[in-house]
Structure 1
Amino acid sequence: MTILARLKTETRAAHDRIEAAMDLDRRIASRDCYRDLLIRFYGFHKAWEEEAAGRVPDRDFFERRRKTQLLVQDLGALGLKSEDIIRLPQCRPLMSLSGPEAVLGSMYVVEGSTLGGAIIAREVENRLGFTAETGCAYFRSYGRDIAAMWKSFGTVLLEASSPEADDLIVESAQKTFDVMHDWLCETP
């Protein structure tokens, strides 16, 4: 079983748990609810990117996948000022990202969420009228390149795979789902 297949199998319950708890209909029911959802995503990504940046196996690969700036753009489009965004709460404590394998396992969750983001983007556009330029850049993060970005991530993950690394990768993905669930689904 490849590491990608193993991750999909072993994190299925955590994936389903966060998807059920998100209550997306409520979270995109109004401009304010949507803004609050983006604030929670910002708090997660800001903290996660700062932690992961120092431990990534390939800096350029990681930099192209950062989402915080897209969230800043969206929050600005929704009326938050830069000084307000800087003061937003961040997700603490994070899961331990002790090395490249842990970062890759965690990235599996973060990168996987971009696939679901494309579906969410369509719902946000239909319900609220936001586009990538007017408040939905985060959910449209890779635009038409979403499949290529996922494929390139999978290639890097497969290259990093080994019997020793795989357990760490899966453990990190599971912990990331737990932290993301607790952060995104708690009432701020």
Structure 2
Amino acid sequence: MPLTIHETPLAGLVKNATQQVHEEVEAILLPALTSIRSTSDYAAILKMFHGYFHPIEKLIEQQLHTGLLPDLAERRKSSSLLEDLRLLGEATDSLPLCSDLPPIKNPAEAFGALYVLEGSTLGGK
């Protein structure tokens, strides 16, 4: 039986309010994703994602702790990206990291950022 995801009124409002931003991000990412022709192209995309996910996850973790979100460590995407890069034979010692990040100054902003990261891995479902 297929999984059915029910959209709450709040989720619908958030989705509608952020649709334009999602389309802008997709316009940037889709050409890079559809141009992957080799393992090295794929590794470059993984490095780009890691460069954003790793520092943003650090900012989130500064505001949240296991008391607020017990499975916080399990939600890290950057660890999986690193493992994939290692499996591809890529060096992971000094990957470039993004410094142009949104501010995350409190738990509410951290949960908001985590919501976006989790949604990004669901592919818009």
What TM-score bracket applies, with the shorter chain setting the length?
A: 0.7 to 0.9
Match of 2:106 in 1: 99
- Give the distance between the partners of 1:93 and 1:25, measured in 2 at CA: 25
- 1:101-180 alignment runs, 5 A limit: 101-116=108-123
Secondary structure of the residue that 2:111 maps to in structure 1? helix
SS at match of 1:54: helix
- Would the aligned equivalents of 1:52 and 1:97 in 2 still touch at CA under 8 Å? yes
Number of paired residues? 114
Q: Percent identity?
A: 32
State TM-score, norm by structure 1. Answer: 0.56
Tell me the alpha carbon deviations over residues 103-140 of structure 1, each in whole angstroms, 9 at most, x when there is no partner: 121112211111129xxxxxxxxxxxxxxxxxxxxxxx
5 Å-filtered alignment, 1:1-188, equals 2-22=9-29, 23=31, 24-26=33-35, 28-56=36-64, 58-81=68-91, 85-116=92-123
Alpha-carbon separation, structure 2, partners of 1:97 and 1:18: 20
Structure with higher helix content: 1
Aligned partners of 2:72 and 2:10: how far apart in 1? 19
| Aligned partners of 1:53 and 1:59 also within 8 Å | no
Once residues 52 and 93 of structure 2 are traced to their aligned partners in structure 1, the CA distance between those partners, rounded to angstroms, is 13
Name the CA distance, whole Å, in 2 between partners of 1:64 and 1:76.
Answer: 19
User: Aligned partners of 1:2 and 1:99: how far apart in 2?
Assistant: 25
Q: Deviations over 1:126-182 (max 9, x none)?
A: xxxxxxxxxxxxxxxxxxxxx8xxxxxxxxxxxxxxxxxxxxxxxxxxxxxxxxxxx
What's 1:181 paired with? none
CA RMSD of aligned residues (A): 2.0
With 94-103 and 52-61 compared, the bigger mean Cα shift is at: 52-61
User: Any gaps of 5 or more consecutive residues in structure 2?
Assistant: 1-7
Higher relative contact order (CA 8 A, sep 6+): 1
TM-score by length of 2: 0.81
Match of 2:5 in 1: none
8 Å contact from structure 1 (residues 47, 90) kept in 2: yes
| 8 Å contact from structure 1 (residues 97, 103) kept in 2 | yes
